[in-house]
Structure 1
């Protein structure tokens, strides 16, 4: 497969990461970047990329085969629509937008124009999650009954020097927990009811530092999620899954899927089950599946190249990502309502 010519819109940390991954990728290459900041211009020069102040001019002049959208969430719709209008497939970073109605508007526009959009819920491309999905879909767990996940970590004080991180909407629910909500949806299907509590008791900022969430899935299973960014804890996906070298990996599990026939832990992929009769007096056996390790961002670029070529359907479409966004936003809605909330659709 020829390397697909990609333009990157937004030169923040995630945009630069995509450029770095594409530099050595056999199926994708970054050729231009659009971001008005002087730092972005310097970055483009160092990387040998064409630099543009505005993304529309870049799309018109460069005519890339695909675009990576790594701009602030509130701009995703306008940038995505600009790509769709020019017939350019886009990889849009998560969350797909900052509200569900706009996400669905973007999904409709893409469908009507027959331009594929891929949303960057990158964990779906991790070999661990792909194997977990195979196990769940094989029926080995029987009927899923409950699922539990921990996203507990400690953000240093300097992280909060940026004001928006101390304000509502800048906390671990929308920034971090959305990943775990998406994992749950990817493995167990749609979420139909959310209840939640949040707390800011440790730091006292306007934004939450801790949340506890109760989920009901369409298949009848129940789930719990706990997130905290003020916890001295190894129990979070970034530390446990080994996706990024700058996080010290811990040999722990963070996600637990429990069914009538077997249970599955992640990221270590332990399957616990009875080999003979079922019952709490009977011995359980454990089997570990060990997939090859892989960089999910690298695999996401491979997949995006295949999406551009119309060889694969987007693993996370705009409509799919809107469902994850709706379930995550429902956490704050449930807190405000002091009761159960159905995610908006």
Structure 2
């Protein structure tokens, strides 16, 4: 069987991570790097002297026939680049968000469906063994019928984060689109589709023309109610990055959690994986002590597992764990939250 060859578009922070993982993986090869407009990466040829470098996807595909393409370019290029891959019948992994807006995302989902395309969206946390273990607890009924969800993504981004990417301090670059879209994928995985959102946003700390803190109420289609607090201006350990112990770039706090999922029989604190529950057949009561258990989980790099899934998708041995529809739906919810914050109103999210 031929070893899959992968093209990476956009050698920025995430693109370089994809390149590193491809080069370290025994089951694929790096066929080329695309640097649209050089994308601030004038030294990329020096860093990868043995890899073909192209300045556009079109010029790349004119001289190469990759097994798959990973799109890590700026958001505004995702739609056109993914569309070209789909039309050429090339499997594609699109970094989140799937496109710059939901209208483009729906069009891409429809195109992929018509062409029977292989499309995976880069919500890598969904590949985490932590999420797999949590889903098993929830779906197995251990918590009873779900009642409520509480979550947070609170961290402090230093000044150099914004200096390195000035676009991050402008509309479209705030934590709703950069960070919250990851959390939306997790909330949907835990509690199902989101029916309505209500949000209040503030830029009081940084005073950029984009939010730095957002408080969100959520209504899920199955009746679950949730709250989520998002901030990139608060010094706190209560975020996935600083509790999951999956990314060595961040300090971690194993005793802390960023999510809590509650049902009629018990609660799961995540990612400590602590379950406090009334075991069956005991009837739940606030007078009866809850039984505590820590669920063991073997941690693995979710980005590595995502690449494994993409290779399986290319080879036709597996379906995408995060298909185009999920990427579009996550973006739909993120846009609804932004719209709710702007209008200070409850925003319904139509089922599709």
Contact between 1:189 and 1:218, CA under 8 Å: does it hold in 2? yes
Contact between 2:11 and 2:41, CA under 8 Å: does it hold in 1? yes
Q: Which residue of 2 aligns with 1:215?
A: 218
Q: Which residue of 1 aligns with 2:191?
A: 188
Following TM superposition, by how much is the alpha carbon of 1:30 offset from its aligned partner in structure 2, in angstroms? 1.5
**Structure 2: how far apart are the matches of 1:224 and 1:39?**
39
Which of 71, 77, 80 is residue 78 of structure 1 equivalent to?
A: 80
User: Is 1:268 the equivalent of 2:272?
Assistant: yes
Following TM superposition, by how much is the alpha carbon of 1:242 offset from its aligned partner in structure 2, in angstroms? 1.4
**Structure 1: how far apart are the matches of 2:27 and 2:79?**
27
Q: Which residue of 2 aligns with 1:171?
A: 174
Contact between 2:264 and 2:284, CA under 8 Å: does it hold in 1? no
Contact between 2:274 and 2:292, CA under 8 Å: does it hold in 1? yes
Following TM superposition, by how much is the alpha carbon of 1:16 offset from its aligned partner in structure 2, in angstroms? 0.9
- What is the total number of aligned residue pairs between the two structures? 345
Q: Which residue of 2 aligns with 1:325?
A: 331
Q: Which residue of 1 aligns with 2:302?
A: 296
**Structure 2: how far apart are the matches of 1:323 and 1:38?**
28
Q: Which residue of 1 aligns with 2:261?
A: 257
Q: Which residue of 1 aligns with 2:18?
A: 18
Q: Which residue of 2 aligns with 1:306?
A: 312
- Correspondence list, 1:103-142, <5 A: 103-142=105-144
Structure 1 vs Structure 2 CA RMSD: 1.5
Which stretches of structure 1, 4 residues or more, deviate above 6 A after TM superposition? none
Following TM superposition, by how much is the alpha carbon of 1:82 offset from its aligned partner in structure 2, in angstroms? 0.7
Q: Which residue of 1 aligns with 2:28?
A: 28
Following TM superposition, by how much is the alpha carbon of 1:40 offset from its aligned partner in structure 2, in angstroms? 4.0
Q: Which residue of 2 aligns with 1:46?
A: 47
**Structure 1: how far apart are the matches of 2:179 and 2:2?**
35
**Structure 1: how far apart are the matches of 2:283 and 2:81?**
57
Q: Which moved more, 1:89-98 or 1:272-281?
A: 272-281
Q: Which residue of 1 aligns with 2:236?
A: 233
Q: TM-score, normalised by structure 2?
A: 0.94
User: Is 1:224 the equivalent of 2:227?
Assistant: yes
Q: TM-score, normalised by structure 1?
A: 0.96
What per-residue deviation string (whole Å, max 9, x for no partner) do you get for residues 63-84 of structure 1?
Answer: 0000000111111110001101
What per-residue deviation string (whole Å, max 9, x for no partner) do you get for residues 24-51 of structure 1?
Answer: 1122221211114286464345332111
Q: Which residue of 2 aligns with 1:243?
A: 246
- Which 5+ residue runs of structure 1 have no aligned equivalent? none
What per-residue deviation string (whole Å, max 9, x for no partner) do you get for residues 145-204 of structure 1?
Answer: 100111000011222334322222211111111111110011211101000000111122
Q: Helix, strand or coil for the counterpart of 2:63?
A: helix
What per-residue deviation string (whole Å, max 9, x for no partner) do you get for residues 202-242 of structure 1?
Answer: 12221111000000001110011101111111101001001
Q: Helix, strand or coil for the counterpart of 2:247?
A: coil
**Structure 1: how far apart are the matches of 2:151 and 2:112?**
33
- Which 5+ residue runs of structure 2 have no aligned equivalent? none
Following TM superposition, by how much is the alpha carbon of 1:332 offset from its aligned partner in structure 2, in angstroms? 1.2
**Structure 2: how far apart are the matches of 1:59 and 1:243?**
35
**Structure 2: how far apart are the matches of 1:200 and 1:11?**
30
Distance change (3 Å), C-alpha of 1:45 and 1:32: farther
Q: Which residue of 2 aligns with 1:6?
A: 6
**Structure 1: how far apart are the matches of 2:39 and 2:171?**
29
